[in-house]
Chains A and B, each alone.
Chain A
Amino acid sequence: MSFDPGSSPAPSALLGVEACARGALEAGARLATGYPGTPATPAIEYLLAQATEHLSVEWAVNEKVALEVAAGHSWAGLRSFVALKMSGLNVASDALLSVATSGTVGGLVVYVGDDPGAYYGMVEQDSRLYARLAFLPMVEPGCEPDEARRMTCHAFDVSEAAGTPVLIRGTTTTAYTWGPVDLEPLERGCRTPRVPFDIDRYTKAGAARCRRQHRQALARMAEAARLLDPWNQEVLGHGDLGVIAPASVWGYVAEAVERLPGNERPHLLRIAVVHPLPEERILGLLSRCRRVLVVEELDPLIEERVRSLAAELPRPPRILGKRQGLTPEVGDLDPDAVSAALDHLLDREPQRRAPRRSANLPPSLAPRLLTFCPGCPHRSAYVALERAIARAGYRKDEVIVTGDIGCTILGMNPPHSLCRTEVAMGSSIAVAEGFVRAGVEAPVVAVIGDSTFFHAGIPPLLNAATKNVRLTVLVLDNHHAAMTGFQPSPTQHRPIPGAPAQPLSIEELARAARVRRVRKTLPYFTRRLSRVLATALRSPGVQVVVAEAPCVRRSTARVVIPYQVRPDRCVGSERCRPSCLEAVNCPALETNGGETEVWIDADRCLGCGLCAEACPRRAIRRRIRSRRRLP
């Protein structure tokens, strides 16, 4: 291949989820909002990086607020885009059902990211069910980012033409597949806002009004489905076997079909409009086949609909899928799972190209439990909490600690092993109240991150405060939603993209809620923090302790003075109890596995000093000579 290095401009390529955001930009969206959550996060991040004067992009305080802001914006006639993860759609769902029955004026497109396989550790939720619940059209792109871009752009036109919000469903795989896209110019038409006065459409009091809105929503959904229908696609094959699959898993089906000889290839239907389903096309395929395999991830939604449609035919074909155990209901799919199902149906020898080796790590190996990054303020805070528990006169297992979403939950893993529960955003505080209500005598502590606190932690704090429950709330304020990629939280005061115009204070909020005692300290001052926490554990009423230090991965510190182990003093983690490894488990501490001494990776150490504090032999010292500048 000939080329001229340096002269060829790199073609554009985007993640699938970024391509959807690009589609929104090209469609002339004037507002993009959302709340971070994998795999939807890169949509808003992409738009923040594109900053144009025509588009305002923001992180909302939570997903419900994001959707409501977008609804108002689109009712004023302007196009709006929302991106959230499936858990976020749960949070926004109350508003979603209401907005859906009122419809839209300016196009309103909501991107929701599901996570089959639970790669990011939440519930394996199938958000296609929301489309059904809310009478909304839902489309999903496959693994070609350019299709995602064009589809989103079209979704805006359809949303306006049919007057309904349109849902776009991504999955971890379609969202995080990066590939080439063609960029088209942005739509720059200017619209002035006009807020309609139409209480029949925008209010809900009155049964007749609600029933009318319900009927209208169904009609709008049908119209949108008609307009979106060209995204669905048939491919004729041979024989009497058919395969139906939604676009999100199409790549696996195509891969598996490619392995078959031409004359054995089944008839195919690729469904992009996953709600409402393209019944005409499904019936068309069914009429050609004796057996139809439905391939989809998570719930057998298409499979069940196809089965009930088949029952209407005079000679119904057999519908095969999860019901027969041909594909799993749990976890994500891959090309081999689809191949196995097809081979089974076609009575073929398995088409594997290599001897099967196990994909699972043998259980004899240690599991890779997540831990905090070197220098993370959360680690210091948990170490301080452990000391506070001892200082207050309790054993570690007596005090009950509830955890919350985010990096803060890593306090569940060793060596801290403190957090016992994780429910949903903000739940640590209410679950803790539940334990107190149940009559637990020992102190109960809720640990929550700043972004999570603002998202859904305020109502449970108010609940506990109004009842004066004996409860300690430890807020780990690192100014970011760290776990999802360091998006600014409402406490962020540096002017980074997406940061609040007006940073908020957790202490002021807590004081306004008449919390008994509010304290704030730097987590790196572990002695001070453990004193403050110990007092809180012993005190009645709601106690709020804020441990505030910016996420180390976004710290502005530019020079690091790492620590060093003095080999003459270190006796090795084997003979040392409790060793630095057991006490802090920092990834910058290195060992060969017990026999020899411990050493510190100077490139990874960020100089928090927690290990030096924990070392019973004072063998860990600062190493001024190896000070290092950060990029």
Chain B
Amino acid sequence: MNLDVVVCGVGGQGVVTLGRVVAGAALREGYDVRLLGQSGLSQVGAPVMVHLRIGAPAGPSPKVPLGAADVVIGLERMEALKLAPYLRQGGTALLSDEAVRPYEARFRPQRYPDRQCVEAAFSGERVLWIPALDLARRHGPPAYVGAVMAGALASVSNVVDRDQLVLALRAERPQEADAEVEAFFAGYEFLTGADD
């Protein structure tokens, strides 16, 4: 089974960490993995995009081709627009509603997209909104949005096992552990509605 995922957001949200967690879980399951993360700039707020390819073997290109991503994950509402061309027909977009407004949009609300505008960009494909920032804050700092979205991913795809994701999450950030795992399950349960 193959899973191609593209994730984007802005610096400080843990986009690269989210990629590492999912990739780490897939590696533990014995998959071949390629994770391309543009992690060179350190400022809070810079756009970040991560391509993740999981398979046996993973697709040869480190970038997911357009229209080939099974799942796209957007951590920031405006950046999420960049994901639209990657989503395949019948794929799923997991979007956090968090808005990190650029300078100008702070004064001119019309210069920032609303939900409808983002949904329209995905032209009818399945878009699931997740209140990731709220869920993260219930369990810890805003940086837990990555964990919430990893949980959401586990609820829409079983290519990577949920428990492996939890292990990988613990391995990636050992000092955070329990609270962050709770944030993960908050994201999982938000979409499944279950509490197993």
Contact = CB atoms under 8 A, between A and B. Distances in A.
A102 B169 CA distance: 50
Given A407-B43, A593-B105, A603-B137, A354 B37 contact: no
A368 B123 CA distance: 24
Contacts of A359: 66, 82, 84-85
B94 interface: no
Given A10-B28, A176-B36, A593 B107 contact: yes
B161 A143 contact: no
B101 A593 contact: yes
A38 B40 CA distance: 6
B109 interface: yes
A56 to B, nearest CB: 26
A553 B42 contact: yes
Interface stretch (B44-52, B148-156, B185-193): B44-52
Given A177-B62, A180-B27, A371-B45, A356 B85 contact: yes
Interface string B84-115: 11011100000000001111111111111100
A619 B112 CA distance: 27
B40 A39 contact: yes
A556 interface: no
B66 A356 contact: yes
B141 A365 contact: no
Contacts of A371: 43, 45, 103
A482 B27 CA distance: 32
Q: Label chain A's interface by main secondary structure.
A: loop
Contacts of A413: 103
B63 A335 contact: yes
B70 to A, nearest CB: 12
Interface stretch (A1-9, A221-229, A436-444): A1-9
A591 B167 CA distance: 37
A314 interface: no
A366 B137 contact: no
B66 A352 contact: yes
Contacts of B142: 601, 603-604
A593 B108 contact: yes
Contacts of A485: 40, 42
B43 A372 contact: yes
A46 to B, nearest CB: 14
A365 B113 contact: yes
Contact of A365 (B112, B137, B161): B112
Contacts of A573: 106-107
Contacts of A176: 36-40
A120 B47 CA distance: 11
A626 B163 CA distance: 35
B30 A120 contact: no
A570 B163 CA distance: 47
A62 interface: no
B134 interface: no
B29 A3 contact: yes
A365 B105 contact: yes
A370 interface: yes
* Residue with the greatest number of chain B CB neighbours at <10 A, chosen from A5, A174, A410: A5
A173 interface: yes
Given A3-B164, A356-B85, A415 B103 contact: yes
B67 A353 contact: yes
* Residue with the greatest number of chain B CB neighbours at <10 A, chosen from A366, A407, A414: A366
A199 B127 CA distance: 70
A10 B63 contact: no
A581 B106 contact: yes
A13 B65 contact: no
Contacts of A119: 38, 40
A367 interface: yes
A94 interface: no
A315 B57 CA distance: 40
Contact of A334 (B65, B102, B108): B65
A483 interface: yes
Given A180-B33, A359-B82, A361-B82, A354 B43 contact: no
Interface residues of A, number: 78
Nearest to A355: B123
A172 interface: yes
Given A38-B40, A359-B82, A364 B163 contact: no
Interface string A340-366: 000000000000111111110110111
A598 B164 CA distance: 42
B161 A178 contact: no
Contact of A374 (B44, B65, B110): B44
A624 B163 CA distance: 40
B142 to A, nearest CB: 5
Contact of B10 (A10, A365, A368, A486): A368
Interface string A397-439: 0000000000100100111000000000000000000000000
B46 A486 contact: no
Given A143-B62, A173-B63, A120 B42 contact: no
Given A143-B62, A255-B59, A357 B40 contact: no
A358 to B, nearest CB: 7
Interface in B165-181: 167-168, 171, 175
A177 B33 contact: no
B2 to A, nearest CB: 12
A10 B113 CA distance: 40
A119 B78 CA distance: 19
Contacts of B106: 573, 581, 585, 591, 593-594
B84 A334 contact: no
Contacts of B112: 365-366, 593
A42 to B, nearest CB: 9
Nearest to B32: A180
B59 A366 contact: no
12 contacts: A10-B27, A119-B40, A143-B62, A177-B36, A179-B33, A255-B60, A354-B67, A365-B81, A366-B103, A407-B43, A603-B142, A604-B44
Shortest beta-carbon contacts, A-B, top 6: A354-B67, A593-B109, A38-B40, A254-B60, A366-B104, A255-B61
Interface of B: 10, 12, 20, 23-24, 27-30, 32-47, 58-63, 65-68, 78-79, 81-82, 84-85, 87-89, 100-113, 121-123, 137, 141-142, 161, 163-164, 167-168, 171, 175
Interface of A: 1, 3, 5-6, 8, 10-11, 13, 38-39, 41, 119-120, 143, 172-174, 176-180, 250-252, 254-255, 258, 334-336, 339, 352-359, 361-362, 364-374, 407, 410, 413-415, 482-486, 553, 573-574, 581, 585, 587, 591-595, 601, 603-604, 631
Given A354-B68, A587-B100, 7 more contacts: A1-B30, A353-B65, A357-B85, A357-B121, A366-B112, A368-B79, A593-B105
